Structure 1
Amino acid sequence: MYRMSLMALIADELPGVNRERCIKIAIVHDIAEAIVGDITPSDGVPKEEKSRMEQEALDEMCKVLGGGMRAEEIKELWQEYENMSSIEAKLVKDFDKVEMILQALEYETEHGKVLDEFFLSTAGKIQTEIGKRWAAEITSRRNSQLANRLNYRSNARKDDSMYDTARIVLKMKYVSITMTGRRPSLLLGPLPAVITTGKSTEVPSEIKSMDPETKLPKKPNFDPLKAHELTEGGQPEFRKVYVPAHRLKPLENAWKEIYNLIYKVMKVDIRMNLKARRVELKNKPETPDIGHLQRCADFVHAFVLGFEFRDAESMLKCDELYVDSFEIRDVKSLRGEHLSRAVGRLSGKSGKTKFAIENATGTRVVIADTRIHVLGPFARIKVARNCLCSLIMGSPAAKVYSKLRRVASRLDSIA
């Protein structure tokens, strides 16, 4: 927090740049971000929605000040930053991008992850020279860090291959050892007593106990690690699911069931962030499986997309369920009444066509405006999507029904 302000403070003197104004713009931006939260490209929040949330945070700041000259100055600084109408605003915008990739580098170093999306989202978008220099330095350090990590893994693979070779050598009945009596590098443990037979020595029959037919001790059986034990340093993991405005009321109505299912059954912390309009999930020491966090996030995401509670709940119980989403315009470029007719063909009279596809393929389909979501196993989603695409392209419903009858028996054999 407030690192952008520090960047503005320690930056080199630039001609025509008001350092004090840069610091003010950075502070206003950081306070708004503290209220809304740090929205990253991976959160999937639209740019318009992000601007709306930040504008609400700005209004809240001005409300706390009670209006007056200071509140007007904050609004002026914010608009200057949003419109990038000055060299100071452009410089602070670059500081924001530099601070984001710097934070991503720190996360990579601390947790051992690769966060390419943060660096790709800022590539070629930094305008000022000082921003380009700082970004180049951060990228250079990241490349060195990734290279060191790659070398470490390469050496680890070499060690593994040496260990496998040693196991193969130890399975041999007889091993020839040079007259020096020196222990070979691939053999583990002390060198057994040897019997000299000329130029080479022969290992006695004790080595025969290493034959493949010899019964080995049972493998140790350990209890599975809990979720917090699998992460670096025991740090909790988070998931965030954005909730559009039209799904807030259904989420509120079903919140009690969702909360009981996730918090009490799956042992995952959950809360609703009303300001950011998103559901936030976090694992805890009591979470029995690290996969529960992602399952809960998929469950909430499916409910937010428009699936019924019972259908979305099945994602918590089955590992093979997925949600596939696509736009009608991705299949065929349609506008106006042509687009409306395509949506009508997908639904059918009173939803007859959609229900037929769901029942034949064992999937669930949600048609939200021009976006289609399909929930089910991968193979069944593929069949349902082919039928939906045929309807979008203009195929009559009767032809799709005949196709469904042909594949229904084959789908019944899919596990």
Structure 2
Amino acid sequence: MNNQSERNTTELNTDHKPEVSKVNNQRQRSKKLGFAFIALALVPISFTAFNFYKENLKKEDEQAVKEAPTFKVKSRDFAEPQKQPAPEILSPEIDKPIPAVLSNDDIEMPPPKLIKSKSKLMIERSTSPSIESSSPDTEQVESGQVLSDSQLTKGENGDIFQSTAYSARKAQKSPYNANLLLKKGTFIQCSLRTKVVSTIAGNLGCIVAHDVYSANGNVLLIERGSEIFGEFRSGQIKQGEDRIFVVWSEIRTPKNVVINIDSGATDELGGTGIQGWTDTHFWKRFGGAILLSLIDDTAGYLAYRQDRRSGYDYTESSREATQQMAQTAVENMINIPPTLYKNHGDLVGVFVARDIDFSSVYKLRRK
């Protein structure tokens, strides 16, 4: 019985399956038809909307073209200018001739003026057609004043913005032989033989590091190893400076040739003066004053504590004396000049300040 019931149920189930599938197929077909209908309906709607938008754009463009401003150009008539009559040519009138020479009686001479700055016997007159002053360093103006070179270069009333007037100069050929000439501006490099301390004035020397040739570079004038001697003065350096001025007096070559050079010293690159390490003596100048100030402050603090207890200051006189001592120490030590140190072996230079002729020492011979 049970088997028969199970068979019946299976048969019933199999009988209902094809009906369910048919219903599902019909639903899917109806959905597809709906979507197709909606798509077909949207096509004409979108087409009509596009045409409407396109027509509106055309209308707006036409209105913009119509509303664009138009410019009108007025027509003008051009006519030839009327010819003016030519001006009449007048004959020149000839005046009476003027005498070429005037006598001194007809000229009124201004009263003489004394120039105290020139000489007691020099008398200046204002501008006259017969007398003119010919001084090389002055110039005469209409008011009768004589201007100096400084006034001429500065302009009227010392105007510094007015261009400076320079007198012309002539070029000339050097009278010296270029083969035996040590020209002005030659740079000679040398190394110090001695240490330089600028506290006391003294002498110094250096040894030439390279051979020095003539102006045209053909003849050897100063050999390498020649000695240069110079001198310097004390008290040249001020606070904030680190250079000392040295004057080289002469050069001695290995061939016993003495050259008076009288030129200034430079550093290794040609800067004026010899540069070195500078001692400013700070503690010598301010150390004593600082120490006395600390002592004074300590005494003042102790006196303040004693005043609070007893009401009397027993250290007032000693503190006043300490202040006077500090002031005196500062006055005596503040003016100590700095000291420059330059070690031996350092490179320095010589800038030749004038032309030096070697024709009296050397003679040239053809080989």
Q: Shared fold by TM > 0.5?
A: no
Q: Which has the higher contact order (CA 8 A, sep 6+)?
A: 2
Q: Which has the larger radius of gyration?
A: 2
> Shorter-normalised TM-score: what interval?
under 0.3
Normalised to the residue count of structure 1, the TM-score between the two structures is 0.17
Normalised to the residue count of structure 2, the TM-score between the two structures is 0.19
Structure number having the greater strand percentage? 2
